[in-house]
Every structure is written in C-alpha cells, then in structure tokens.
Structure 1
Amino acid sequence: MITFPYGNSDFHAIRTEGKLYLDRTQHIPALERAGEQLVFLRPRRFGKSLLLSTLANYYDINRADEFETLFGDLTIGQTPTVEHNRYLVLRWDFSQVSAQGDTEALTQNLFNHINQMVNGFRIYYQQYLSSTIDIFETDAIASFASLTNAVKNSGYPLYLLIDEYDNFANEVLMQIRPTPERYEALVQSEGILKTLFKAIKSNASEGKLARVFITGVSPVVMSDMTSGYNVATNIYLDDEFNGLCGISSAELQQLVATLSTHCQLSTAETQTTLETLRVFYNGYRFCYDIQQEKVYNPTLCFYYLRHLQKACEPPPQILDSNLMMDAGKIRYIASLPNGEAIIRHILDEQAELSLDALEDRFGIEAVRELQSGEKFMVSLLYYFGVLTITGRSVLGELVFSVPNLVIRSLYVEELRKRTLPDARETDTVRHMARAFYQNSRNAPAFRHGDISVLC
C-alpha cells in the first residue's frame, strides 16, 4: 500500500513515516550552482513547501546524524554536496501571516510570525550559539538582525528559506480592489515588506546570510519592492528546473501500475485511468523549451490516486475543492484591464493566444495599464496556473492555453460566469457541464478538445 502525502509538506515526516516521496534531490547541486539567493515561482499546491522542507532537512546541521535515514536511498544521498548539514536554517512561511486589518495590524501580523520563527530558531540551535538572540515584539526586523549577528558570531553559515513570500500581500491586494492603498503601503516607499527585504539584502551583502531561497506564485510583489530586493536570481523559467515540482508521466505511470496490481484492474481500465489523469490533471510547462515534458499537479494526482487505492474506483468528484481559488482572487483577475477580452480569447479554443515572451518582472501598476494589459494579464494567468505554455506559433511566439479540464472548470469557467454572462446558456447545459466535470467516469468518452460543447 502506498501512503500518499496528500496535504503533507513535511519532508522529515514523509521520509521517517514511510510515505511516498518522489525524489527531486538530483536538482540540489544545480540549485547550489544557480546562485546564493534564488526565487522560484509555481502555482498553488504544486509542492513548493515540500521542496523547501527537503532543502531545510538537507542543509540543517541538526539533521547530520539522520542524513543516511533521510537521504541515503535518494539521488543526493549517493553523491552529496559538501554543503549538506553545514547550515543553521531559518524558515518563514508568509501563508501563515494574516491579511486582515489596517497597515499597522498587517505589520504586527508579519512581526508576530517572524518573531515566532526567531524564537523557535534560538531554542532549536541554542547549543551552537555563543551569544543570545533578542526578540523585539514591536520590531521583528530588529529580532532578525539580532539573530543574524548571533549566528555570525558563532561561526556558522545561515540559510534563510521563505515560503509563499507573496501570499499575504496578494491577499491584501485582491481583497481591496479597486483601492489598493494597503497593498502599496506594504511594498512601496518604506513599506514594511519592502523594508524587510532590504534587511535581507543587507544581511546577505554583509556575509551574515550565506543562502536565501524564496518561493511564491507570481513576480508582482517582488517587482513592486524594486530596489528593496533586486539581488536574487530568478530560476522559475529555467529549463533544468521545469520538473523541480510536479509529477512526471513516467512517475505517474509507475504509481498507476502499482495501484492497478493492487486493484486487479484490466489493461483497458489501467489505460482509462491514465487517460483520465492526463485529460483532467496534466498540462503544465514551466519553461520556454517546448520539448520539455509537461508535468502533473501533485495535489490533484494524490487526491485521485489515494481514492483509487482505497476504493479501487475513481473519486466521485473529479474536482478537488482544496485547489479552489477564493472568490476574491477570481473577482480581482476578472476586473483587470482587458480581462473580458482575454477571457473570451482563452475560451475560444479555435483562437491562438500567443506572446513573444512572458513578463517575469512587473508590478501592479503595469497590470493596470490598459495599453499593456493583455501581455501582463496573460503572464499573470500563467503564474497563477490558469494558462501554460503549449507550443510555438508559426512566427515563433509562445502559445498559451488552459492546461487541463480541472483548471478550465475551477478558474476559466468561473471567470467566464462572472464577466461574460450569456443569456443563451440554459440550466440544462450548465447541469451537463457540472455533471461532466464532477464525474470522472465520463473522461474516457471525451478528448480534451471535445469538451468545449459543454463550456
């Protein structure tokens, strides 16, 4: 029996409790070579947190005695880099920061999280610290400075991991549309988020931070902070990291083969399962090289496969509600300039949606500008996982489309309903579409392009 780590991003727990772990440690040497400060973007629920947890366990000096247990049978365990288990590791997760309240409350919410992590750090690493770390309740940046000074004085390198760096800032932005003053107060001028990243930049330049790895969904917040943090290497479009998060076709085929044996599925049933997963869950490419393999969303696949293993049949609902984008984000995307035109274009499967290149550094003002709205809108939808790169046009431009039927149902159809109401759409058609998307047994009867009649 396979124990799928659905919703579990704790590498240590996954490895010590015998849960499924798809090895990505072969990328660690390339990540080390890529730079000391890295930014890596992927859509929600794509395994970013597990990646950071893997790095934390690999570099943590306190995990040295467990290296063989955690990594011995993985790729990096056979040929580890010299940096393994050499660092004190500080982790922040901005998805835990509340986006509620005014600017003062937002600042305190951020400070509370940082101080909590600083306190946990000083307890966890107290045996290595030769000086104390002070915590300042109303100034977590000062707490962070105290930590970096203490670590440097103790002679150890420090690795900072930041998960979902843009999460609470995006929440603030999308809650308040069209009056984004709170968001701008976070990232512009002397806003607290910009000030925090200036402190990270300063500590790195002074040798107090050896490495920084940042994950998020889009480059908008990073771009809006401009000079606050302009020293990182962006690796989220690099060919070699296309499969850093996600599930490959070969891995999925092996998992389905194992479950088919367990459930005694016929060859035809096994192929039907693979086709269902392909049509509903596949379709993401995170680089410009169209020869690179598309990857599957791991959260969606684990949702489907664990039910298949338990009941030997597909889940009754093909859509995993945990992947839903909240209503505020949907309203925000639909309200952007050229939103209606872009959505019409996306929904028209006969029309080609193409760009010369993705925008990988753009702030919120660029998104708002009517004259550049289409390019930024398409790029933003790509980062959110609503669109992906599917090929090249005859002119050599990148071609974008909706990755799969789950995304069409969760995002595009919701956007369409909010922005393009059609009086001709009957309850019968809506019920047909809903029934199709929810009933995974319908999948073998259709190819991806055949579903437009229900949309």
Structure 2
Amino acid sequence: MKKLPIGIQTFSKIREEGYIYIDKTEEAFELVNNFTYVFLSRPRRFGKSLFLDTLKELFEGNKKLFEGLYIYDKWNWDEKYPVIKISWAGDLQTLESVKRVALYKFKSNQENLGISCDNTTDPGSYFSDLIHKAYKKYGKKVVILVDEYDKPILDVIDKIDQVKIYMEFLKGLYSIIEDNEVYIRFAFLTGVSKFSKSCIFSDPDRLTDISLSPKFGNICSCTQREIETTFKDYFVDVDMEKVKRWYNGYNFLKDNVYNPSDILNFIKNECKFDNYWFETGTPSFLIKLIKERKYFIPNFANLIVDDKVLFSSDIENLGIEAILFQSGYLTIEKAIQTPRGIEYKLKIPNFEVELSLNNYILRYLSGFEDSAANTM
C-alpha cells in the first residue's frame, strides 16, 4: 500500500516518495486557464497548502512530478514561469514582527529565483521589486501564490485596534499584486476567512472567489468515490456507513466531502472512530472571538441565513453563523433561491464536528459564563 501523507504539504515529496495523492490537477487546469486572480476560502486542514504547492510545481514546469495525473498530457511543459510563494508562518503578534516575517519570505523567494532586489527593508518595495526583477530575468509573467492570506489578522482577531492596523498594512502589501497586473500571469490566494478579503483588497471584485463555486466545490477535500478508490486498501472490513456519519458531510455546493486530515488520522489510528477535529481543525480565532464577544449559540435545527450574514465584511460585528461556517463547524445543506436573493440552509457537517461543538465549544462557553458569574 502507498504511504499516508500525514502532515505533508509538499507536492514533490508526495510524488517522489510514493505517498497517496488524490488527483486535483483537473481543477488546477481549469483555474489557471480561465482566471487570473483567484481566491479560495476553506476551513483549516482542508488541503489548501498542498493545492498551492501543486500549482507552484505546475508553473515551474516540473513535468516528471505529474506523470499519470490528469494534467500531464494537457499542459505545455515548455512554458515555465517564475513563482513567488508567500506563507505567514511565524511570530505575528506585533506589526513589526509581521513585517519581519514578510521580509524573510521575500528574501527566501529572492534566493529561490536567483535575483537581487534593491530595496530589502520595506516590505511593499521589496515585493514590488521581486515581481519586476523576476519578470526581467525570466522574460515571463510572474505567478503569485499566497497561503493563508488572513493569518496575521486571525492571530490577533480579539484585538480590534490591532486588526485595523494589520488590515491597512496587508491592504498596502496585497495592492502590489493589483498594481503590477501587466507582470502577473496568475495569482492565487487562500485563507480560512472571507471577512478579511473585502477589507484588504482595494478592488475585491477583481478576485474570482471560487469558495462557493459548484465547479470547484471538491477542490480541497476527499469525495466518497475518492475514499473508496484511492484509499480502498485501508478500508477493508471498515463500516463505511459509519465512516460517513462520523466524517463526511461538508458541502461547498457540489458533493458531500471529507476533510482529508480526518481521513488520514482515522487510518493512522487503525480506523478508530474518534474526534480528531478539535485538536487539528479548530482555529484559535474561533475561541478568541467566542471568549471576547460572548456569542449566543444559535439553534441549529433550521438555520437559514443570507449571503450578507454568511459573508459579512464587518469584522467588528461578525455573526456567530459566519464564524462557525468559515471555521468548519457549520456547512451548507442547500442553497435556496428567494425573491430577495440566495439564502443558505446550514447544518453541522457530521458527528465528529457535533462532538467538538458540544463537548468543547459549548462547554467552553458554559465554563466562561460560570467563571464570570463566580467573580460577581
């Protein structure tokens, strides 16, 4: 049996070392041939980083890695593009530390591209110079990939004044992408939240948001068919209906899907039915917001919201429904067309998430309220 890619987000390592890989290159092919600026929002642990790295290897023309995959005989491997890839891992607790992380990432890209930039002390100037110098050296338009564009904001989400400062900084930084359109071949940005997007990008309508595009609904996830084919050797004598109840049920307007991390942890633990979601999937920003704003948890029995609630950009007045949806505690049961526009009926995806919600989030709220009462 092929090895399980637990914790591996590097496409080349997966392909070169014989790990299981679910082919998502058809979606990649559709994206890069039809759009220039693309945005994708998904909860944590949904494979966004791996998909981003797949795009990197594709644009860099590493043909051998794609043997046997959908895109192999469809892509022009003679066309290679310089890639700037940005992620926000590191200390993000102050604006100065965010700037240091940005400078470090730009320096790493500069070294990978084999270029020398003139201004390496100001993040905006450094980023712009990277794009120009890469274009000049390679004679090709530049590809920009941003993993978790919103992480600096989410790390301080409970400090609204700091959030506003970060937003202004990131707005200036990401505007570099918009300002250099003539040099850009493709830009892809991923994140957990949608509420930061419209606050950060000066013209958010230029970004094609595929987060709820039915065509790309399965882009970072595992379908039932993929579980029963790609992972079939690991599911011998396993109660598949029980697997569905526990881990299936996320929906982004296409098929019901699994979180890939859940499936990998389930197999790693000898197919033990357990709650892997809270430890690996719960973003810290959810706990911070619940703690700070003392939300009332809604009745989930018949929860219907419109897109203004679900995708609100008012970060100071975010509804709990939007936060739970974007963090993966709620998903879409169905879209409803009304005279006023589209509404969404939401649901808890599966039994595992329900356990997390009941045993951790609601218990946390209860404990917080008890603590507050005891101090009165």
Q: Tell me which interval the TM-score lies in, with the shorter structure as reference length.
A: 0.7 to 0.9
Larger radius of gyration: 1
Deviations 1:326-362 (A, max 9, x none): 666324136547x31xx2402xxxx311124464352
RMSD: 2.7
CA distance in 2, matches of 1:135, 1:44: 34
Q: Name 1:404's counterpart in structure 2.
A: 350
User: Which residue identity lines up with residue 58 of structure 1 in the other structure?
Assistant: L
Choose between structure 1 and 2 for higher RCO, CA contacts under 8 A separated by at least 6 residues.
2
Q: Name 1:200's counterpart in structure 2.
A: 177
Written as runs of structure 1 = structure 2, the 5 A alignment for 1:4-403 is 4-60=4-60, 64=61, 66-67=62-63, 69-80=64-75, 82=76, 85-94=79-88, 96-101=89-94, 106=95, 108-126=96-114, 132-137=116-121, 139-154=122-137, 155-174=139-158, 176=159, 180-187=160-167, 191-204=168-181, 207-225=182-200, 227=202, 230-255=205-230, 257-260=232-235, 269-270=237-238, 272=239, 274-287=240-253, 292-308=254-270, 314-315=271-272, 317-319=274-276, 322-325=279-282, 329-333=286-290, 335-336=292-293, 339-340=295-296, 343-346=297-300, 351-357=301-307, 359-360=310-311, 362-367=313-318, 376-391=319-334, 397-403=343-349
Q: Is the contact made by 1:197 and 1:228 (CA closer than 8 Å) also made in structure 2? A: no
> Which consecutive unaligned segments of at least 5 residues does structure 2 have?
370-376
CA distance in 2, matches of 1:21, 1:240: 21
CA distance in 2, matches of 1:324, 1:231: 30
User: Which residue identity lines up with residue 244 of structure 2 in the other structure?
Assistant: R
CA distance in 2, matches of 1:320, 1:383: 14
Structure 1 vs Structure 2: percent identity of aligned residues? 24
Q: Is the contact made by 1:354 and 1:393 (CA closer than 8 Å) also made in structure 2? A: no
User: Which residue identity lines up with residue 125 of structure 2 in the other structure?
Assistant: A
CA distance in 1, matches of 2:231, 2:187: 37
Q: Name 2:365's counterpart in structure 1.
A: 419
Q: Is the contact made by 1:88 and 1:157 (CA closer than 8 Å) also made in structure 2? A: yes
Alignment CA distance shift 1:422-1:276 (3 Å): farther
Counting matched residue pairs gives 364
User: Which residue identity lines up with residue 257 of structure 2 in the other structure?
Assistant: V
Q: Is the contact made by 2:110 and 2:117 (CA closer than 8 Å) also made in structure 1? A: yes
Deviations 1:76-128 (A, max 9, x none): 00222x4775210000002x142223xxxx2x3233233223323333232xx
Q: Is the contact made by 1:58 and 1:84 (CA closer than 8 Å) also made in structure 2? A: no
Q: Is the contact made by 2:274 and 2:352 (CA closer than 8 Å) also made in structure 1? A: no
For 1:210, what is the secondary structure of its paired residue?
strand
Alignment CA distance shift 1:120-1:392 (3 Å): closer
User: Which residue identity lines up with residue 84 of structure 2 in the other structure?
Assistant: L
CA distance in 1, matches of 2:205, 2:97: 25
User: Which residue identity lines up with residue 255 of structure 2 in the other structure?
Assistant: E
Q: Name 1:446's counterpart in structure 2.
A: none
CA distance in 2, matches of 1:84, 1:97: 36
User: Which residue identity lines up with residue 136 of structure 2 in the other structure?
Assistant: N
Alignment CA distance shift 1:91-1:306 (3 Å): same
User: Which residue identity lines up with residue 381 of structure 1 in the other structure?
Assistant: L
CA distance in 2, matches of 1:118, 1:43: 26
Q: Is the contact made by 2:20 and 2:230 (CA closer than 8 Å) also made in structure 1? A: no
TM-score norm. by structure 1 comes to: 0.73
Normalized per residue, the structure richer in strand is 2
Alignment CA distance shift 1:15-1:394 (3 Å): closer
TM-score norm. by structure 2 comes to: 0.88
Q: Name 1:437's counterpart in structure 2.
A: none
Alignment CA distance shift 1:32-1:5 (3 Å): same
Alignment CA distance shift 1:54-1:45 (3 Å): same
User: Which residue identity lines up with residue 363 of structure 1 in the other structure?
Assistant: D
CA distance in 1, matches of 2:357, 2:250: 15
Alignment CA distance shift 1:397-1:209 (3 Å): closer
Written as runs of structure 1 = structure 2, the 5 A alignment for 1:431-450 is none
CA distance in 1, matches of 2:255, 2:348: 16
